[in-house]
Every structure is written in C-alpha cells, then in structure tokens.
Amino acid sequence: MTTFGTHKHQHLLKLILSCRKITAQVQPPNSATIVAMASSSEPEFLPHHFSVLTRVPRSRSSPIWDSSIASRVGEKLGLRLVEVGITAVRVDLDVVEAAERMDRLRRSALVRLFRSVERAGVRVVGAEGMKGEED
C-alpha cells in the first residue's frame, strides 16, 4: 500500500529527456526494476517524429517532442500504471531540479505530462510546485 505522507514507500517516476524523445518510467522503491514505461519513441508517435524531421526549413534547435506529445506520453503511462494497480508515484528530485533550469515551453510540457498521469487516476507527488502554462 502506498503511503502519501512518506516518500520511501512510493513508486518513483523518472524522466529521460532529450531533444528527440521523452521517456517516463516508474520504478518501485529501492529497486531498479521498471514497473511501467511510456516513450515518445513508441510506434504511435513515429508519424509526428518523421513530419518534424522532414519539415522544411529544418530547425536544428527545435526539439521533436512538445507539450502535446508529453501529454500523450503521460496519458499512456497513467493508463499503464492503473492497469498494474499503482495509485501514486513520487517525482524524482532530479526531474524537479532539471525542470527549474528549463525554458517555459519545456517546463509546460512536463506539467502537462504530470497532469495527464493524474487524469488517468494516478496521484503525482512532488510536482505540485512546478508551474507551466494552463492546458
């Protein structure tokens, strides 16, 4: 059973961010096993990925994933968590610290990812202080 007051019993939500993809994975406490995972590199996102890569003129600085992709990744992760019976996750502190250094659009995308997980029925602890654009 997950305890909301203490962090040591909650599953850990980790994000792996790059300019090309966003991956969200959940691990049980004190373990490196991945319980659920969602990524923008899944087949569903390939048409979007290729449309951005073949866009003319091509911008090298614009990332492939945006807030809509992050939101969909969060939705997929939330549904997978509900499927395995996880009702709450704790955001990795490294994610929160990295979000503080991100620009407004990236931070907004992460907030949308967390909100999508919550809409699926999984409580996200540790992301309450993050601010982003409203959906």
Between CA 97 and CA 28 the distance in angstroms is: 21
**Is the model's pLDDT at 36 over the cut of 80?**
yes
**Is the model's pLDDT at 123 over the cut of 50?**
yes
Q: Over range 78-91, report the average pLDDT.
A: 94
**Is the model's pLDDT at 10 over the cut of 80?**
yes
Q: Which of 2-16, 37-51, 107-121 has the lowest mean pLDDT?
A: 2-16
Kindly state the DSSP code that residue 30 receives in the 8-state scheme.
T
Alpha carbon separation from 28 to 22, 31, 102 (Å, rounded): 20, 6, 27
pLDDT for res 105: 72
Q: Which residues contact 51 (CB under 8 A, 6 or more apart)?
A: none
pLDDT for res 66: 75
Six-digit token string for 96: 């929160």
User: For 86-120, how does the pLDDT look when each residue is reduced to its tens digit (9 = 90+)?
Assistant: 999 999 877 777 777 777 777 788 888 999 999 99
Asked if 29 and 8 count as a contact pair (C-beta separation under 8 A), the reply is: yes
Whole-number average pLDDT of the chain: 78
- Domains of the chain by range and CATH? 7-125 (3.30.420.100)
If one compares 50 and 30, the residue with the highest pLDDT of the two is 30
